[in-house]
């Protein structure tokens, strides 16, 4: 499992292909995370951690999610390939 603030992994065709082949479940922190002070980011990550761990255990390996930059909400699934067509999953 990976937690990353680098959405280039998902947006760059080359990096996206590497990510898909790795089958690493990845939680991408949305742009709003990067505008927060370090300690606010740490607090939000600690707040989200139980949900991140729970989601990582129940999904197909290689699934990607956006984690909202707030203390509540839902993960947004990222479809790395056409065969993955699910939308939102649990928060």
- Joined tokens for residue 86: 């699910």
Q: Nearest 5 degrees, angle CA 56-CA 34-CA 28?
A: 20
Kind of pairing between the strands at 26-29 and 2-4: parallel
**pLDDT at residue 10, rounded to an integer:** 84
**pLDDT at residue 1, rounded to an integer:** 93
**pLDDT at residue 82, rounded to an integer:** 43
Nearest by Cα to 2 from 16, 23, 21: 23
Under-50 pLDDT residues of the chain: 82-91
CA distances from 66 to 7, 13, 26, 35 (A): 9, 18, 9, 16
**pLDDT at residue 78, rounded to an integer:** 86
- Joined tokens for residue 34: 């990067």
Query: Is 67:30 a contact under the CB 8 Å cutoff?
Result: yes
- Joined tokens for residue 13: 């065709």
């Amino acid at each position: 499992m990976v937690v990353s603030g680098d959405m280039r992994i998902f947006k760059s065709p080359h990096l996206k292909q590497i990510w898909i082949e790795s089958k690493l479940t990845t939680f991408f922190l949305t742009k709003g995370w990067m505008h927060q002070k370090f300690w606010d980011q740490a607090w939000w990550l600690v707040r989200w951690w139980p949900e991140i761990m729970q989601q990582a255990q129940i999904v197909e390996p290689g699934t990607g999610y956006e984690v909202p930059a707030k203390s509540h909400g839902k993960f947004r699934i990222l479809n790395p390939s056409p065969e993955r067509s699910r939308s939102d999953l649990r928060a």
